[in-house]
Structure 1
Amino acid sequence: MFQPNNMFGNNNQLLDMVHQAPENEMGLIRGDDESVGDQSGDEEQDPNQPSNKKKRYHRHTQQQIREMESFFKDCPHPDDKQRKELGRRLNLEPLQVKFWFQNKRTQMKSQHERHENSQLRNENERLRAENMRYKDALRNATCPTCGGPATVGDMSLDEQNIRIENIRLREEIDRISATAAKYVSNKPVLSYPHLSVPVASRAVDLGVGNLGPQTGLAAEAYGSGDLLSSPNLVPTEAEKPMVIELAVAAMEELVRMAHAGEPLWMSSTENSLEGLNEDEYMRTFACGLGPKPLGLKTEASRESAVVIMNPMNLVKIFMDVNQWTSVFSSIVSRAITLDVFSTGVAGNYNGALQVMTAEIQVPSPVVPTREIYFVRYCKQHADGIWAVVDVSLDSLRPNIFRSRRRPSGCLIQDLANGYSKVTWVEHVEIDDRNVHTIYKPLVNSGVAFGARRWVTTLDRQCERLARLMANNMPPGDTGVIPEGRKSMLKLAERMVMSFYNGVGASTTHTWTLLSGNGDDVRIMTRKSINDPGRPPGIVISASTALWLPVLPKRIFDFFTDLTGRNEWDILSNGGHVQEIAYIASGRDPGNSVSLIRVRPTQANQPNMLILQESIVDSTGFYIVYAPVDVVAMNVVLGGGDPNYVALLPSGFAILPDGPNYQASGVPVAGSGGTLITVAFQILVDSTPTAKLTLGAVTTVTNLISCTIEKIKGTLLGVGA
């Protein structure tokens, strides 16, 4: 067995090497207020005589230091032009400014490393003491029944814990060794800009009742009990060793799957997606989760992309359930952390392991969500490379979930300038018999739930977060000040999340199917009481799905064209529509947040404001909008808190009806058509205690049917 006593002796030597490393890889540090100056050329010196002259040092004034400190906070790497301008303003030579910034960067790096090494020392001391306690407990542990050693299988419980701790200690030593090697070899440690990710609260919309019998309408209610938060899913102490072993094996499989080529992965000429060779997979990973259960179908895909976020912040997103559901709100309808085995070591997520449940969705009520019960494990494999893997725990609670996730997740490789390369593997076995007929080609292709959708969503959200955190006003944004720009983006983010929550087939929803007027409309009700993000009263969510023989891009352009908004938007009511604010939320022009003003046709009616976000990626298009109060929106535009603006979002999810793609990555229809989900959220009574009437339901269903007819008449009437 691995002996921790010898390990910590070597560890102290490595830490000593770190502290003895050169202070400055680019020159000697003289302090915050000093920098090396040029030698004076006023005095001549015999070149044959040795020079006794010392270099002079320039001591900066307090005003110069304050100015450069302030500039350093915003720009630690000034270019030549900035150094010249700063030197002119402070009466310094550009070379003096350059030396000061070099010294300041090196000093900040040294302080950071010293702080990190102190944390590592404390963490290792704690682990060593804990390891010793386990060893003592192992010597003295007895079984209360027979008086012999306490065991779990062939290994005692304390011995199992010691082995787990030793694995963590080995990984810690590897990290320290890598850090020390950087200093010993005099290689610079690069620092990349970090993007902080806001933790968004995620309130799940619950259906609070059904509508009862409906006269003249065929009603069908569906929904299931909430299994995701069941306390019976928390692993017992006896099950934890098996969970850990499964996670470690899944991590190894994920890494191999991410790097493997043919014959394991086969490229498709139809849609540029990589497909899995199932026979080769079973030969390569015969000792995994075992054979596929009867009745389940395999979906497996792999995709890579470069995203604008560093690995540490990406790992933080995956290991924080709130951030994960926020970033992937179009895919993850809800998620719960049931148990945390480990939070990692030394202040990061290396070795973090937790048991979770989640629902995976397509934004449509006619595609059932996929409930999964899994363990998530994070590990740093090498300098700058991280991996996060999920694997189902259905063997612990068999016959409960009809979705099984074989080792899936992503490898994250650190690139320059705060970018990362993400390679995603998605491998599931599911029962898709309840998927609506018109969505089956999309689901069967693997596009609806596959790796491409995860990666493109992550890429788009990273772009959005980068623009949210930007301090300067990007070119093209109009109608807002920098503070108002951030508040407006946050308000739009909450609006979009509410739309996804209200339109999907989550098991927390109780949808009622109403068949009438030739369309199948699904209705859900909820009561809003003391919710600062929604108006109080009874809210109806109405949704329907349809297929149109028109390309998705054309439908998206139709909805985003303000000149034709009166052709489908009931809210505009024939008024003049004008965009008064615009914010780009991604590099694609289709990703944007807008504030739209509708001027009524009658002079005695007030103006209406509509907040709208349009979303584009290589798997689909989305348009979400909501009417907003004029006074509240003025507060937001001034940089005020957007959390108290009441929103009831409506919108469209526009997806291709099959897996085919153009070379540019823009989705097109598999057979020339598009799947559209149309959803409205409407306040039908401002009193939360009021009873829902049949008249209100009829009004809402007529509204959505009228909107569908307007869309069909405009798009199909001019030729598809």
Structure 2
Amino acid sequence: MFQPNMFENHHNLLDTSHRTSENNFDMLKDDDHDSKSGTDIMEAASGDDQDPNQHPNKKKRYHRHTQHQIQEMEAFFKECPHPDDKQRKELGRRLSLEPLQVKFWFQNKRTQMKAQHERFDNTQLRNENEKLRAENIRYKEALANATCPNCGGPAAIGEMSFDEQQLRIENARLREEIDRISGIAAKYVGKPTLSYPDASSHGPSRSLDLPMANFSQQQGMVGELFGANDLLRSTAGPTEAEKPIIIELAVTAMEELIRMAQVGEPLWVPTSDNSSHEILSEEEYLRSFPRGIGPKLMGLKSEASRESVVVIMNHMTLVEILMDVNQWSNVFCGIVSRAMTLEVLSTGVAGNYNGALQVMTAEYQVPSPLVPTRENYFVRYCKQQADGTWVVVDVSLDSLRSSSISRCRRRPSGCLIQELPNGYSKVTWIEHVEVDNGAVHDIYKALVNSGLAFGAKRWVATLDRQSERLASAMASNIPAGDVGVITTPEGRKSMLKLAERMVLSFCSGVGASTAHTWTSLSGSGGDDVRVMTRKSIDDPGRPPGIVLSAATSFWLPVEPKQVFNFLRDENSRSEWDILSNCGLVQEIAHIANGRDPGNCVSLLRVNSANSSQSNMLILQESSSDSTGSYVIYAPVDIGAMNVALSGGDPDYVALLPSGFAILPDGPGHYEGGVLNGGTGGSLLTVAFQILVDSVPTSKLSLGSVATVNSLIKCTVERIKGAVASNMSKTMGIL
């Protein structure tokens, strides 16, 4: 359990702890006067006015400020709404007012501003509530009037068009959203909550109850990529009563993480792959930490690992990345599908993050729609130790919410960061979770159950690769003379920024995130193809219209490194890339992104006999580390690319990324710093984003879905055939 003195060395976590009794007394006095409003200030009677024979009900004197006084105090209020005693005296002296008059005016002004803000917030809530109600009614009417496209009669569920199925799902989502916002409005506005009956009798919005007509007997749903109900944002921040508990929990978690990072066997057991990877002995952990942060949750499997790495990154840069939710989710985009900070309890010491404490929520993924994401509600605490080492620790807060049922609990996890010479840092990373892996697809179970899919090895490998990428982006001494090397700083910066956006878009749409819902298009044999849709209207980085995202994952009997080299090689692209129409692909520019020659950003030209595809450009980034590889690409307009390479804004280059994520099929052995699968095989995810209609308001036809389904299946068959052919050549069977 927590000890009362745990927080003695962490007193700087909450700024409120520095308030003096005098400040608290002033705050109470402010509250007493906050009920006054306006600029007419009632003065207390002076000593001369306090006549004991005066009638007690006689009204007191009022003082009305001059226009000049009001203007001066208004200007001062904009700069400092809470003046101290010295400022009030100085302002009163300058305006011929008593300090108490100045104090009352500022109190009333603050009350007035607060009331205005509350009225604005209430208006916003009412407008949002009414908008959702109108949308809900419109969708219900659309469903009620739905007709069969063939016979014109009432439509059965299985006969609905692709968009009509989406309306049904969106209707259920809006119903939940209306109930939530109506509850908020009732709290602030005073109106009773609204509750709409479910338009469907088939259960909640996330149940798989909508069969897709003419496509599959398997049931599924279609969600909007980056547009479905965002469960992360519905998580409320901590209450005032929970904050002291969170602080003690964070301090306890940090103490545990530091101990776990510093001890070796028998707590940590080295793996048999001759790497620095270690796994936790659960029995020894229970003996070493008998109380910890609480007992193990029933039905969950313990998963813990430790890994160390030296990275080309300054230790303070790394701390900033970990404590900035946007930078953190971008650097680890292959692992973190979504993340947000709910509340910052402490910003730490001025100038750095020493003592910073923030409540967060995040969703962790494997790049495949076949592996469920892991969602955590947790606190992140950053502290610099006496020896200069920085520690960043996460620990779940699910236990504070008795109503929540967690599939994954994060025990003290995080990293120790040690400063090294020449801007390098040594990072010791620990991942310790309790999780339910029951919903993982069979082909991924060996990888996930081994702890490699979400473990410390994957985090440090990603960090190492991204540190090399950052160093490459900042390099200035690029040798000229190599054909295709971009040496201009503007061109390199634009091309790398464009590639980064492409990778982020790919990673955010390839996993099984709760932000979008996949629909399976094949139900009998073979590999399932999952699809989702989104509509792009005003995003300059994406072409306007309806975009269909399709993905499938399957096993290949080839080591991951061989698959990676095959897919990134422009000379073998015609063997699988249908969109290039078997044209000759040539690399015309590249930027190296690390020690591995396969880690680079390339610009490819497709010389095709098809006039519509002639001289088409393809932006491609390939990256590989010891836990997985990516080959991600997107067609780009030649004119827009030339503008970007000349120093123009790359955000206006429209991208629809497609590509591959390659993982080992389980724990295996290391060869040349690369992890090969347990059986020597690979898990390959293929994903496409394709514009199927340039008009965002048009309906998505099932024919478009069929085309994309055929495209991705044909690509898979081509890859399987090419891999089998290469294996035969390797074995000498021609």
TM-score (norm 2): 0.69
- Residue number in structure 2 paired with 1:619: 627
Read off the aligned partner of 2:497 and give its amino acid letter. K
SS at match of 1:395: helix
- Residue number in structure 2 paired with 1:377: 381
Choose which of 256, 260, 263 in structure 2 pairs with 1:257.
Answer: 260
> What is the distance in 1 between the residues matched to 2:230 and 2:508?
16
Deviations 1:679-711 (A, max 9, x none): 000000000001010100000000001101111
Over 3 Å counting, the alpha-carbon distance change for 1:614 and 1:490 in structure 2 is same
Choose which of 506, 510, 513 in structure 2 pairs with 1:499.
Answer: 506
Unaligned ranges ≥5, structure 2: 30-164, 170-209, 729-734
SS at match of 2:648: coil
> What is the distance in 2 between the residues matched to 1:546 and 1:681?
19
> What is the distance in 1 between the residues matched to 2:368 and 2:375?
16
Choose which of 322, 327, 330 in structure 2 pairs with 1:326.
Answer: 330
2:342/2:361 contact within 8 Å kept? yes
Q: CA deviation at 1:254?
A: 0.6
1:458 pairs with 2:463:
yes
Choose which of 580, 584, 606 in structure 2 pairs with 1:576.
Answer: 584
Q: CA deviation at 1:604?
A: 7.5
2:635/2:655 contact within 8 Å kept? yes
> What is the distance in 2 between the residues matched to 1:605 and 1:714?
24
Give the 5 Å matches for 1:587-602. 587-602=595-610
1:327/1:461 contact within 8 Å kept? yes
1:470 pairs with 2:478:
no
Over 3 Å counting, the alpha-carbon distance change for 1:127 and 1:333 in structure 2 is closer
- Residue number in structure 2 paired with 1:284: 288
SS at match of 2:399: coil
The percentage of counterpart residues that share the same residue type is: 66
Q: CA deviation at 1:132?
A: 4.6
Q: CA deviation at 1:293?
A: 1.0
1:130 pairs with 2:19:
yes
- Residue number in structure 1 paired with 2:145: none
Choose which of 299, 304, 318 in structure 1 pairs with 2:303.
Answer: 299
Read off the aligned partner of 2:468 and give its amino acid letter. E
> What is the distance in 1 between the residues matched to 2:353 and 2:467?
20
Q: CA deviation at 1:369?
A: 0.3
Over 3 Å counting, the alpha-carbon distance change for 1:208 and 1:603 in structure 2 is closer
Give the 5 Å matches for 1:20-59. none
Over 3 Å counting, the alpha-carbon distance change for 1:653 and 1:474 in structure 2 is farther
Q: CA deviation at 1:667?
A: 1.7
1:479/1:580 contact within 8 Å kept? no
1:480/1:637 contact within 8 Å kept? no
> What is the distance in 1 between the residues matched to 2:22 and 2:291?
35
> What is the distance in 2 between the residues matched to 1:134 and 1:299?
48
- Residue number in structure 2 paired with 1:415: 420
1:234 pairs with 2:241:
no
Q: CA deviation at 1:321?
A: 0.6
Deviations 1:12-43 (A, max 9, x none): xxxxxxxxxxxxxxxxxxxxxxxxxxxxxxxx
Over 3 Å counting, the alpha-carbon distance change for 1:308 and 1:131 in structure 2 is farther
SS at match of 1:515: coil
- Residue number in structure 2 paired with 1:77: none
Give the 5 Å matches for 1:369-448. 369-398=373-402, 399-448=404-453
Read off the aligned partner of 1:330 and give its amino acid letter. G
1:686 pairs with 2:676:
no
SS at match of 2:232: coil
- Residue number in structure 1 paired with 2:618: 610
Deviates more, 1:427-436 or 1:596-605: 596-605
- Residue number in structure 2 paired with 1:513: 520
Q: CA deviation at 1:401?
A: 2.4
> What is the distance in 1 between the residues matched to 2:715 and 2:342?
43
2:478/2:487 contact within 8 Å kept? no
Give the 5 Å matches for 1:618-657. 618-657=626-665
Deviations 1:448-495 (A, max 9, x none): 000010011011111111211223325766145221011100100000
Give the 5 Å matches for 1:126-205. 130-133=19-22
1:208/1:526 contact within 8 Å kept? no
SS at match of 2:721: helix
> What is the distance in 2 between the residues matched to 1:558 and 1:608?
21
1:373/1:401 contact within 8 Å kept? no
2:211/2:220 contact within 8 Å kept? no
Over 3 Å counting, the alpha-carbon distance change for 1:135 and 1:381 in structure 2 is farther
> What is the distance in 1 between the residues matched to 2:444 and 2:685?
11
Over 3 Å counting, the alpha-carbon distance change for 1:710 and 1:357 in structure 2 is same
- Residue number in structure 1 paired with 2:496: 489
Read off the aligned partner of 2:659 and give its amino acid letter. G
1:271/1:660 contact within 8 Å kept? no
Deviates more, 1:243-252 or 1:567-576: 567-576
> What is the distance in 2 between the residues matched to 1:252 and 1:279?
20
1:534 pairs with 2:509:
no
1:576/1:601 contact within 8 Å kept? no
> What is the distance in 1 between the residues matched to 2:229 and 2:638?
40
2:479/2:487 contact within 8 Å kept? no
1:366/1:545 contact within 8 Å kept? yes
> What is the distance in 2 between the residues matched to 1:677 and 1:464?
23
Unaligned ranges ≥5, structure 1: 8-122, 141-206
Q: CA deviation at 1:563?
A: 1.4
Q: CA deviation at 1:208?
A: 7.1
Q: CA deviation at 1:652?
A: 0.5
Q: CA deviation at 1:227?
A: 3.3
Q: CA deviation at 1:302?
A: 0.3
SS at match of 2:398: coil
Q: CA deviation at 1:127?
A: 8.8
